[in-house]
Structure 1
Amino acid sequence: MIVRFTLFAFISFITFNVSAQTKLLDKESNNPVPFATISFGNGNGLFADDEGSFLFTKKLYSDIDTLYISSVGFKDFKIPTENLPKTITLEPFSNQLQEITITAKPKGKFRIKEIDPVFHNDYHQCWLPTIESEIAVFFPNKEKLPKRITKLYIPIKTEAKDWRTRNRKDTKKRKFSTLFRVQFYENIDGFPGEVINYGNIVFVATEENEKFYELNIKEHNIYIPKNGVFVSIQIMGFTDPKGKLLPNKKYQEVKTRRGIVKVSTTFRPLLPFTNTILEKRTFVKRIFLNDGNWILFDKKNISNSNLLAKGMNNYGIGLKAEVYYQNKD
């Protein structure tokens, strides 16, 4: 797949000092720790790339004196930013290994079940993604049968390069190349619980993807537990032409009469929400805020959402699964 990137991402990439990068390593294996979360403790932060590297300089973040680093399977780590080392080692949990659900593939007959994604072309009914946000959608297992997820259908909305031509079929699209991470969560009393560790599942979406991104995850052998599963997507940031995560600043500093205001950077593609799903099954969280707690996406929890004001309270992820209804010993 050919990936492209925006002018903003390109300028960001060539102007950053790559020598200031820090690398995260597993203390026991010395392997890189990919896609770790680096929080600033003030509601902002960034992510390591697939090689465990991240960029932090005082020139970029002059007001940050401490980093809080976390990753699934590792102990949280706190480090001052003064004289930040080139390498940081993270200690794995020695007595609390991340639980992995291992299920032997059933040998009986199965049928294919598909849940169609829900998408539309209305720019004004889309989520504007930012790095700190993650969206999780609940999928129940009403039949309590073994179900292996083989594909995910991730709704996206591209934008016209020229707003005046947005309704034309042949309009040129605004270019982007954005890395997403997909995670799966246990269902704990109707809320996303602990991450079910299937490794790092990521993909890159570009303006060439129409309506939804089709992600094949068959090789990961992901089964839906009897009480259901939450499927989440999270934007990690823009990528270079090879799909490698670029240093992405979570916010931009805007000078106003009242001083410097930090405005969250929004990323593309847009994520179309819908009012056609009756059940409230979409949850959101801010990675660097509110201790990363999940909340149901509805008016009781969020009072200033234009999407909720229009009744758009669900994100319509679709999936394809093998449903095993006759097992053989």
Structure 2
Amino acid sequence: MYKILFFLIVTSQLSFSQITIKDSITNYPVSYATISFGNGNGIFADDEGKFYFTKKLYPDIDSLYISALGFKNHNISTQNIGTEIFLQPQVDELDEVIVGAKLNRKFKKETLKPYVDDDYYNCWLPTIESEIAVYFPKTTIKDQKVASVTFPIALESKDWKKRNRSNSDKKKFSTLFKINFYANNKGIPGKVLTYETIVFRATEKEGDFYTLIVDDNDIYIPKNGFFVSIQVLGYTDKVGKLLPNKKYKEIKGKDGGVIKIPTNFRPLLPFTNEIKTKNTFIKRVFISGNNWVKFEKGNGLKSSLLKRELYNYGIGVTYKTFKD
């Protein structure tokens, strides 16, 4: 009886705290929108545009700043928040689209392999506040598009003493990642190349990498190259539904105040020193007007990876180069 009563109380609280983000024109939900709290922290909506927010969960937050690809940014006071929030489409940012039949063009594939590493100390610990982008040049003057992207993943052994054994049991995880493609704007990620929402779920069953097929997204490579980025959205259930768990740990600071520390999610992302150029950039997702920073020493970044001169996340890419 106590368990049933507890379940009903929690369910009722969630039902009143559940908010849905929708397109103001179509009334369709906006998947995986970013909800910033204005203090460098925030959360994401799920695939149905839903997220949970209550004053009990976030007592110090009085405003929400909501953004999504293809929509105008929206600010709202938590005192005026209801069960639905509507975003206006950013029509003027959309590229011209030419509709026509797809031609069977001849092509050849070119693959850049990922850099895989299972060493815990060579890995980036993903948090939902950070987005990682990697630059790739165009390799020819001919038309090229991205066929697939391969993301290195580091698996962790359940038993630390057996971590170097290939047959050791691995820690389980089910984690959702969001992927973006950007044009090259004077050496940093610029305008998005596609407004389609692209996500994938990684588990320990995939092994040391996950290959995402994007051939149907028709991402053609600009003459000055492009960036592909990855950001963690959170853990999921068995069917890939984003869980509404809290993304921060709260600890007391020296002054008695509460400090929010972002939770680290698995899997870890291995960095490498085998790439000659520094192609990796980092930004804080929940800061308004956030800027991309090259992942290198002297840019105000604090990371043990920089001390070990591990400057790049070694994403792999397969291009389609068209012959005509």
Structure 1 length normalisation: TM-score? 0.89
1:119 match: 116
1:310 match: 308
1:269-288 matches, cutoff 5 A = 269-288=267-286
SS at match of 1:219: helix
1:53-202 matches, cutoff 5 A = 53-94=50-91, 96-99=92-95, 107-202=104-199
- Over 3 Å counting, the alpha-carbon distance change for 1:186 and 1:16 in structure 2 is farther
1:233-244 matches, cutoff 5 A = 233-244=230-241
Say what the alpha-carbon RMSD is for the aligned residues. 2.0
1:291 equivalent in alignment to 2:289: yes
1:16, CA displacement in angstroms? 9.5
The code of the aligned residue for 1:22 comes to: I
- Over 3 Å counting, the alpha-carbon distance change for 1:25 and 1:138 in structure 2 is same
SS at match of 2:252: strand
1:320, CA displacement in angstroms? 1.1
1:220, CA displacement in angstroms? 1.2
1:266 match: 264
The code of the aligned residue for 1:113 comes to: E
1:311, CA displacement in angstroms? 0.8
- Over 3 Å counting, the alpha-carbon distance change for 1:256 and 1:295 in structure 2 is closer
Contact 1:145 1:226 (C-alpha < 8 Å) held by counterparts: no
Structure 2 length normalisation: TM-score? 0.91
Contact 1:100 1:197 (C-alpha < 8 Å) held by counterparts: no
Offset from partner CA, 1:147-167 (integer Å, 9 cap, x none): 121111100101112212212
The code of the aligned residue for 2:285 comes to: I
Q: Which of 216, 220, 224 lines up with 1:223 in the alignment?
A: 220
Offset from partner CA, 1:52-108 (integer Å, 9 cap, x none): 0011111110000110111122111111112520111111135x1422676986655
SS at match of 1:208: helix
1:39-50 matches, cutoff 5 A = 39-50=36-47
Task: Give the fraction of aligned pairs with identical amino acids, expressed as a percent.
Answer: 51
The size of the alignment, in residue pairs, is 312
Contact 2:18 2:83 (C-alpha < 8 Å) held by counterparts: yes
SS at match of 1:254: strand
> What CA distance in whole angstroms lies between the structure 2 residues aligned with 1:258 and 1:206?
40
1:144, CA displacement in angstroms? 2.1
1:323 match: 321
Contact 2:38 2:288 (C-alpha < 8 Å) held by counterparts: no
Residues 54-63 or 167-176, more deviating: 167-176
1:203-214 matches, cutoff 5 A = 203-214=200-211
- Over 3 Å counting, the alpha-carbon distance change for 1:86 and 1:243 in structure 2 is same
Contact 1:149 1:319 (C-alpha < 8 Å) held by counterparts: yes
Contact 1:251 1:262 (C-alpha < 8 Å) held by counterparts: yes
The code of the aligned residue for 2:67 comes to: S
SS at match of 1:18: helix
Unaligned residue ranges in structure 1 (runs of 5+): 1-13
> What CA distance in whole angstroms lies between the structure 2 residues aligned with 1:146 and 1:302?
38
Contact 2:36 2:287 (C-alpha < 8 Å) held by counterparts: no
1:255 equivalent in alignment to 2:235: no
SS at match of 2:289: helix
- Over 3 Å counting, the alpha-carbon distance change for 1:197 and 1:17 in structure 2 is farther
- Over 3 Å counting, the alpha-carbon distance change for 1:67 and 1:303 in structure 2 is closer
- Over 3 Å counting, the alpha-carbon distance change for 1:15 and 1:86 in structure 2 is closer
